[in-house]
Chains A and B, each alone.
Chain A
Amino acid sequence: MAKHTITMTINGESVSAEVDSRLLLVHFIRENLDLTGTHIGCDTSNCGACTILLDGKSIKSCTYLAVRADGAAITTIEGLAAEGTNHPLQQAFHDQHGLHCGFCTPGMILRSVDLLKNNPNPTEEEIRWGISGNLCRCTGYNNIVKSVQQAAKEMQNQSESV
């Protein structure tokens, strides 16, 4: 198995490692870096539990080779907000009861970060389509939609007050 040296920024910190060609990014994040907030829920990139931000875009890290992420800047759920603080989406998921078991939550939040970056004021339908690549089996999605709505409002308020 060929080995490759890769370097990337994860949650603001530079990491280098020698990895197999076939190593998936999600396993690199979970096993090599011990960042276990990124979850694995399927092997067909349907569930979105493994969603991370790569160069600011949400991707499913279960179908992305670690070597392909060489040189990228990655944000996982652990790096979304400073220790002890909440990103507006994290706060909104708490306020609106947008999580039950929590397994889909990191992916759902990181997908929503990307959604709101591209569409800061989405309609309910745009939110539903926007998170349709992420499965949740617990919440029935009503409160996830409300969470994204609350965060959108809060983030708009923040950007207006800047």
Chain B
Amino acid sequence: MFKCKTSAEVGGMGHSVKRKEDARFLHGKGNYVDDVKLPGQLTMVMVRSPYAYAKIKSINKEKALAIPGVLAVITGEDLAQYNLHWMPTLLSDTQMVLPTDTVMHQSQEVCAVIATDRYIAVDGAEAVEVDYEPMQAIVDPFKALDSDAPLLRPDKEGQEDNQIYHWERGDRAKTDEVIANADVVVKERIYLPRIHVASIETCGCVASYDKDTQKLLVYLTTQAPHAIRTVVALVAGHVGLSEEKIRIISPDIGGGFGGKVPVYPAYVVAIAATFLIGKPVKWIEDRSENLVNGFARDYHMDCELAATKEGKIQAFKVSTLADHGYTDSSANPSKYPTGMFSICTGSYDYEHAFAELDAVYTNKAPGGVAYRCSFRVTEAVHAIERMVDKLAAKIEKDPALLRLENFIKKEQFPYDSPLGWSYDSGDYEATLKKAMDMIGYDNYKQEQAEKRAQGKLMGIGICTFTEVVGAGPSKDFDILGIAMFDSAEIRVHPTGKALARFGTKSQGQGHETTYAQILAEELGIPYTDIEIDEGDTDTAPYGLGTYASRSTPTAGAAAAIAARKLKDKGKKIAAYLLEVSEEDIEWEVGKYFVKGAPEKSKTIQDVAFAAYTNIPPGMEPGFEATHYYDPPNLTFPNGAYICVVEVEQETGAIDVKRFVAIDDCGNIINPMIVEGQVHGGLTQGIAPAMYEGIEYDDEGNVLNGTLMDYLVPTAVESPHWETGHTITPSPHHPLGAKGVAESPTVGAPPAIANAIIDALAPLGIKHLDIPITPAKVWEAIQAHK
């Protein structure tokens, strides 16, 4: 295990120090976007479409404008005068800011009402008269590809059907051949439903344009403020919004989970509104607007796994249909339209794989956000982990044993996966064995056999996943062409206290503590003496933001390397102060000393003071360093999760009895925060596994667009989580860290699904798609009676 190098007071890596950011949240002093109140601020409310697909025949603003306090109604026609009615998506598709003639999904923004307060704005929105001509919506993505399906995007040049793109990776012919000749092949169509991040804070902004200075200030719920600034400059540069005049401030964020990466149309409308009106404009999404717009997952995956009769995995093939809604607004790196889906070969050693995907348009909301996973890793892991369990069931082998026999061995790292990733490190066998020991796997197998003999339904489910996180490297990964590096800038003040700024943005992950601990580890300055600042594009160094578990792999590495630059400069200063040559200086946490004479030393604080007061001749004054870190590879966190459930045969009720999660995220910076991240991710894993899924009727109406019927787990549904770790440091990360927050969201759903399906196996039930609700279980039981 990791051994701390620093004292508890310094609080470097490995110390569970309490979070520095807590006080303001505990006392109601957090500063979220909706808490921002600028002088003269107006409120914007969106009018949204009741139809999934309709022509807009007319929009009548007059009754709305007659209401005292309603100042403006902005339509697509108004924006079209400035060529702002369409915007590019991050994946080079196009999305309406406001429509001029057609709405493409239910709840799409139709126009915006600007008023002096929210109540009046809502009155105004209700008074706007929109005349629609409804059309037959395409809801089923499989029907979108029918030859007689209406063309949903005739606006796109060369678009002849509803397919957005075809993507493939691997050797189709060889994989097909291995599958055709294999002893055993298991097949399944696995659906990962549309879900929503449902952070408790919705999205919103306060946009403020000053006509005198021509500066635009936007407080925004964004995980990537710098990238957003560049996007705004690209989208609105032609009306005079130049990048140096744009300041994005991402203040405290009430949960992000990927849902606060995209640019939502209302942000652009609010910016246009303040630009036109000259007063600050606030827009805060309500919960239904939040749940119905934007989504994650929605992959239909046809999977085939081939093996020998003994259970040696030989090949995996997956063909996916992806429902993107009316535009592909996935927030993915541009060369990776399906994200990191090709991690789908999993934690197992075999040679042949093929993955392909067809993305289609439907009359649903766009989104494709990377919901607490590094771009489609959740889908990939669910596919392989369900299929491995199906194989175990088919050949009647213990699923733990099957996994142990097929794992990539620890001596095989770095491991080149069949679909092109280079896994950095891991010890999958040790991790699974630790989970089995912790839960008491053999005892549960025995208990299960006894319960089955009594006709009771008990299941044990395993997931042994490999994630791929922390994008760059920048040669492969970019967002709209912007390379995916990240940054840290450290200023050590004369008194030895420090301020460090980052290109990322915490949304609850605890960056103000974790980053301070990284710097404490490297510099020996107590973490309590280091202020961390993120989210203001006028002050922070440029970075791509926080998502895809990339903060520690990229900005955390940048912090370590910037600190090492400072340490190198400090060494020269220490040599000058101690009147020895630089080669005679050694470092131990927080202190330079003369080799062989440890009593002759200077602390990092002494050196910082000298950098401003007693500068060695010829040296540049000051004690500051900046680093932009471009990772050489991604990191590959992994884990073994085991879940035990009991199912009530008469009602279909599911009781999660135990859940053990062993994670290997490399070296750990703050164990308390890491455990907290795992707890939270696990609850966001049980959510889609058992409760959540956005449902549509045949007309494209969303059936569960509120928290009354979109079931976010409460403390009652959330099991008591048990966690643990193995540690194989990342060999290429300066701190040996890998990133952790997304592993549990990725690993929990298949563990839970495998457990429930295992419980139902004696009845002949072989697969259920998530969410596996009591109703779904009950129906399956009735169908198998």
Contacts and interface: CB of A to CB of B under 8 A. Distances in A.
B130 to A, nearest CB: 22
Contacts of B18: 94-95, 97
Interface in B19-54: 19, 21-32, 34-35, 37
B508 interface: yes
A23 B200 contact: no
B39 to A, nearest CB: 13
Contact of B507 (A36, A101, A104, A133): A101
Contacts of B716: 128-129, 132
A139 B680 contact: yes
Contacts of A99: 22, 25-26, 508
Contacts of A134: 714
B679 A140 contact: yes
A100 B508 contact: yes
B108 interface: no
A49 interface: yes
Given A47-B200, A131-B715, A90 B679 contact: no
Contacts of A20: 119
B27 A77 contact: yes
A135 B712 contact: yes
A146 to B, nearest CB: 10
A46 B683 CA distance: 17
Nearest to B18: A94
B30 A37 contact: yes
A102 interface: yes
Contacts of B720: 124, 142
Nearest to B31: A36
A137 B255 contact: yes
Given A102-B254, A124-B720, A141-B683, A136 B35 contact: no
B26 A93 contact: yes
A141 B715 contact: yes
Nearest to A142: B679
Size class of B's contact patch? 35 or more
B286 interface: yes
A140 B682 contact: yes
Contacts of A46: 706-708, 712
A33 to B, nearest CB: 12
Most-contacted residue by chain A among B672, B678, B681, B715 (CB, 10 A): B715
Nearest to A104: B200
A54 to B, nearest CB: 16
A102 B675 CA distance: 17
A154 B731 CA distance: 45
Contacts of B37: 34
A120 interface: no
Interface string A14-35: 0000001011000100110011
A53 interface: no
Given A22-B119, A131-B715, A135-B712, A102 B707 contact: no
Contacts of B679: 139-143
Most chain B CB within 10 A, of A78, A134, A138, is at A138
Q: Is the interface of B mostly helix, strand, loop or mixed?
A: loop
B257 A137 contact: yes
A27 B19 contact: no
Contacts, number: 179
A43 to B, nearest CB: 5
Given A47-B707, A128-B716, A143-B676, A101 B22 contact: no
B150 interface: no
Contacts of B473: none
Given A20-B119, A43-B286, A97 B707 contact: no
Contacts of B34: 30, 36, 39-40
A136 B198 CA distance: 10
B721 interface: yes
A76 interface: yes
B508 A101 contact: yes
Contacts of B27: 37, 77-78, 81, 90
B19 A41 contact: no
A97 B17 CA distance: 10
Given A137-B257, A139-B680, A37 B32 contact: no
Interface size class of A (residues with CB under 8 A): 35 or more
Contacts of A93: 22, 26
Nearest to A84: B27
A94 B26 contact: yes
Contacts of A86: 26
Contact of B201 (A77, A103, A128): A103
B202 interface: yes
Contacts of A135: 200, 707, 712, 714
Contact of A140 (B252, B287, B683): B683
Contacts of A139: 676, 679-680, 683
B22 A103 contact: no
Interface in B186-217: 197-202
A76 B29 CA distance: 12
B170 interface: no
B673 A97 contact: yes
A94 B32 CA distance: 19
Contact of A145 (B199, B253, B715): B715
A138 B680 contact: yes
Interface in B661-684: 672-673, 675-684
A103 B28 contact: no
B718 interface: yes
A127 interface: yes
Given A124-B720, A137-B198, A139-B679, A97 B672 contact: yes
B714 A132 contact: yes
User: Which one of B28, B288, B684, B707 has the highest number of Cβ atoms from chain A below 10 Å of its Cβ?
Assistant: B28
Given A36-B28, A76-B28, A97-B676, A144 B202 contact: no
B510 interface: yes
Contacts of B230: none
Contacts of A95: 18
A131 B510 CA distance: 24
B118 interface: yes
Contacts of A136: 200, 715
- Which among B25, B675, B684, B706 has the highest number of chain A CB atoms within 10 Å? B25
B509 interface: yes
Most chain B beta carbons < 10 A, residue from A35, A43, A134: A43
Interface in B435-488: none
Contacts of B119: 20, 22-23
A41 B287 contact: yes
A105 interface: yes
A149 interface: no
Contacts of A141: 679, 683, 714-715, 718
Contacts of B255: 100-101, 103, 137-138
Nearest to B35: A36
A37 B706 CA distance: 23
Interface string A139-162: 111111100000000000000000
Interface in B711-745: 712, 714-716, 718, 720-721
A38 interface: yes
Interface in B275-318: 284, 286-288
A133 B712 CA distance: 11
Contacts of A102: 21-22, 24-26, 30, 252, 254, 508
B526 to A, nearest CB: 19
25 contacts: A30-B34, A36-B31, A38-B28, A39-B254, A78-B28, A94-B19, A97-B676, A99-B508, A100-B676, A100-B677, A102-B26, A103-B199, A105-B25, A128-B718, A137-B712, A138-B255, A138-B680, A140-B676, A140-B679, A140-B681, A140-B683, A141-B714, A141-B715, A142-B679, A142-B721
Given A44-B287, A103-B508, A129-B716, 5 more contacts: A46-B708, A90-B27, A93-B22, A105-B26, A142-B718
Interface of A: 20, 22-23, 27, 30-31, 34-44, 46-47, 49, 76-78, 81, 86, 90, 93-95, 97, 99-106, 109, 124, 127-129, 131-145
